[in-house]
Amino acid sequence: MAQPHGTGAPPRSVRDATLDGLREYGLTTIFSNPGSTEVGFLTDLPEDLRFVLALHEGSVVGMATGWAIARDRPALVLLHTTAGLGNAVGALATARVNRAPLVVLVGQQDRRHLALEPFLAGKLRDLAGDYPVRVEEPATAQDVPGAIARCRHAAADARGPALVIVPMDDWAAPAESDRVVAAARHVTRADGVEDAGVASLASLLNEADAPALVTGAGTDSEEGWAGLVALAERIGAPVFQESFGARAGFPQDHPLFAGFLPADRPGLRATLAGRDAVLAVGAPVFRQYPYTEGPLVEPGTRVGLLTDDPAEAYRSPVETAVLAPIPAALRLLARHAAARQWTAAPHKDTTTIEAPERPAPGQPMLPAHVLAALAERVPADTVFVEETPSSRPEMHRRVPARRPLGFLSAAMGGLGFALPAATGVRMARPDRPVIAVVGDGSSLYQVQALWSAARYGAGVLFVVLSNGRYAVMDRLAERHGGKPAWPGFPELAVSGLARELSCPSQRVEALDDLVAILDSVVPTLREREEPLVLDVAVAAEADFSGI
């Protein structure tokens, strides 16, 4: 923690935080041939760290390679900007082929004038080519300790050199006491999924009084759902879905489903308050959208991760991360976790959500009217492909995923996903009804996919919520206290574009008409070979509860 003002003690620096991290990971022997960009790190080096000098960078890396192989653990290397890293490339290539885990710190010129390309500034990211297993360029000085931790995990896991490029002024920058370090403290690889591989996660759950689970795309399979249901029911833990998840990782009509995590830190802390342990399974820890201050969870809450994604394991700010095939690891966890009594999670069942009041005469439908009408009619194994940013929270409330592959969205947040993805899903799984729910603005990014859907007999029902604008962007502009710079496009008819692309379509402006069409079309979706676009006029509303 930073020292309070008036104590006389110097403020805690990024160098201080880094040295503590190096001690924790046993990286206390530094192999180096230093230069001026490393002086701030090396001056007055604490006595518990050992400095080993070599007279050429090839020798530096060669010595560290031998040390790492002999100790079977990562070694620490410190190199001097372009000249040092350039001299070391051949030895780094040898380390990679020899599967020697190295954490390589590379000095860089002062961050404050890098844009001017001062003397000793280097273009370092790609200088070693493909030989590093990971390269990190921290975006801010305060990101340096986390970057080093992630590279330590990568070096140990991928068995090779991992590079962190550190501008020379970063070492003296103040460390932020409440900074979330985006790195796991410990990462365990459990390829064979033996009992020892998941022991740390089993202990995390068994030592907790009130554990919770968080899931996402990583468990969206028949085996994943079955394994997570078995674990949740054994330990009586509520299961939350990650925010902005691309897929559903747990049956959202299960009594232990607790809803969707907020995408801001205050909301996240409030939602997980009272939980002394949280295990994320196949989901990031934790996906956020707006930046807000403070920790992700309340003090005292322990966090663990089970994932099959190495990068997710390295960057997650957790006590322990286990890299393993998720379904098999879940089965083991369910055997080792202590059984508990449980009751339904305190989350409103989607079946109890009241239908919205009918629109007044002459008033457009709300997205809730459309989604409620769909929810009342679709079979449980329907695949919903979503791309309607302003209506996504409403969709989550009213249309739960009830089977694996029940929900699909774009993980990156870019538009243009739903129309082609729904077409591909239907072509791959003709046994499943497929419905794409898309905003009219989103549909324009890949409207050409409708031609392919028609040409190849992909019988998707495309439901376009048409409000003639980018509603979520309009509301964000209002939140910022101003007017949007972009116009609306109420004159653009998606139904007309669809017809020009040989895809059948209908414009729908009244709720009774929508209900009649759905009553006719939904029962045909399992066998349907002709796509249909419903261009549904809706009011321009935007829900920020999921943003």
The domain that holds 36 is classified in CATH as: 3.40.50.970
**336, 359, 389 — which closes off a domain?**
336
What domain range includes position 511? 350-537
Give the separation between CA 184 and CA 280, rounded to whole angstroms.
Answer: 13
Higher pLDDT, 68 or 350: 68
Residue 3 lies inside a defined structural domain of this protein = no
What is the dihedral sign for C-alpha 464, 406, 234, 241?
negative
| Cα distance between residue 278 and residue 304, in whole Å | 6
Residue among 401, 422, 439, 416 at smallest CA distance from 535: 439
At residue 542, does pLDDT exceed 60?
Answer: no
Which token pair is 502? 């040989």
Query: Where is the domain boundary, 336, 360, 389?
Result: 336
Query: Residue 226: inside a domain, yes or no?
Result: yes
Query: Within a domain: residue 547?
Result: no
pLDDT at 163 over 90: yes
Together in a domain, 385 and 442: yes
Query: Residue 4's pLDDT band (boundaries 50, 70, 90)?
Result: very low
Annotate 389-450 with three-state secondary structure.
HHHHHHHHHHCCCCCCCCEECCCCCCCCCHHHHHHHHHHHCCCCCEEEEEEHHHHHHHCCHH
Q: What helix, strand, coil percent values describe the chain, rounded to 5? A: 40, 15, 45
Rounded mean pLDDT, 38-53: 92
Rounded Cα distance between 391 and 366, Å, is 10
Task: Report percent pLDDT > 90 for the chain.
Answer: 52
Strands 277-281 and 211-215 turn out to be parallel
Same domain assignment for residues 223 and 286: yes
Same domain, 409 and 472: yes
Query: Which stretches within 25-121 are classed as H helix?
Result: 39-42, 57-71, 81-97
The verdict on 383 and 504 lying in the same domain is: yes
pLDDT band at 3 (very low <50, low <70, confident <90, very high): very low
Measure Cα distances from 445 to 387, 403, 417, 439 in Å: 11, 29, 8, 11
Contacting residues for 51 by C-beta, under 8 A, at least 6 apart = 30, 32, 42, 45
- Report which secondary-structure segment, H or E, holds 506: strand 505-508
pLDDT one-digit tens code per residue, 435-456: 999 988 888 888 988 998 999 8
Residue-averaged pLDDT of the chain: 87
- Is there a single domain that holds both residue 423 and residue 515? yes
- Structure tokens, 424: 């591909």
The CA distance from 480 to 474, in Å, is: 10
User: How confident is the model at residue 488, as a pLDDT?
Assistant: 66
Q: Which CATH number characterizes residue 228's domain?
A: 3.40.50.1220
How far is Cα 22 from Cα 28, in angstroms, rounded to an integer? 6
Domain assignment present for residue 341? The answer is: no
Mean pLDDT of 285-301: 87
> In terms of domains, do 225 and 113 share one?
no
Q: Tell me which range, 59-68, 188-197, 333-342, 454-463, is most confidently predicted by mean pLDDT.
A: 454-463
Q: 398 and 491: one domain?
A: yes
Instruction: Provide the domain count of the chain.
Output: 3
H-helix or E-strand containing 235?
helix 222-235
User: Which is it for strands 532-537 and 505-508: parallel, antiparallel or unpaired?
Assistant: parallel
292 and 402 housed in the same domain: no
pLDDT at 2 over 50: no
* Domain final residue pick, 273, 302, 336: 336
Within this chain, do residues 154 and 209 fall inside the same structural domain, yes or no? no
CB 403 within 8 A of CB 376: no
| Judgement on whether residues 138 and 89 belong to the same structural domain of the protein | yes
Q: Assign 275 a pLDDT band (cuts: 50, 70, 90).
A: very high
Report the C-alpha gap between 455 and 439 in whole angstroms.
Answer: 23
The whole-angstrom separation of Cα 30 and Cα 46 is 12
Which pairs from 195-198 meet CB under 8 Å and 24+ separation?
Answer: 195/332, 195/336, 197/322, 197/324, 197/329, 197/332, 198/306, 198/322, 198/324, 198/329, 198/332, 198/333, 198/336
545 within domain boundaries: no
Q: What is the C-alpha to C-alpha distance for residues 139 and 167, in angstroms, rounded to an integer?
A: 10
Backbone torsions φ then ψ of 105, nearest 5 degrees: -90, 130
109 and 159 inside one domain:
yes
Question: Are residue 326 and residue 354 in the same domain, yes or no?
Answer: no
Cα distance between residue 542 and residue 25, in whole Å: 47
Angle at 280 between CA 334 and CA 321, to 5 degrees: 90
Question: Contact, 102 vs 61, CB < 8 A?
Answer: yes
Q: For residue 255, tell me if it sits in a domain.
A: yes
- Classify residue 5: in a domain, yes or no: no
Residue 544 has pLDDT above 70, yes or no: no
pLDDT bracket for residue 5 (50, 70, 90): very low
Answer whether residue 67 shows pLDDT above 60.
Answer: yes
- pLDDT of 342 strictly over 50: yes
Residue bearing the bigger pLDDT, 468 or 226 = 226
Tokens encoding 543: 């829900």
Where is pLDDT greater, at 276 or 480? 276
Structure tokens at 83: 């000249």
**Predicted pLDDT of residue 8:** 59
Q: What is the mean pLDDT of residues 16-24?
A: 94
Residue 344 lies in a domain: no
Contacts of 179 (CB under 8 A, 6+ apart): 142
242, 283 contact by CB (below 8 A): yes
- pTM of the model as a whole: 0.80
- Range with the lowest mean pLDDT among 95-109, 114-128, 345-359? 345-359
Predicted local confidence at residue 59, as pLDDT: 86
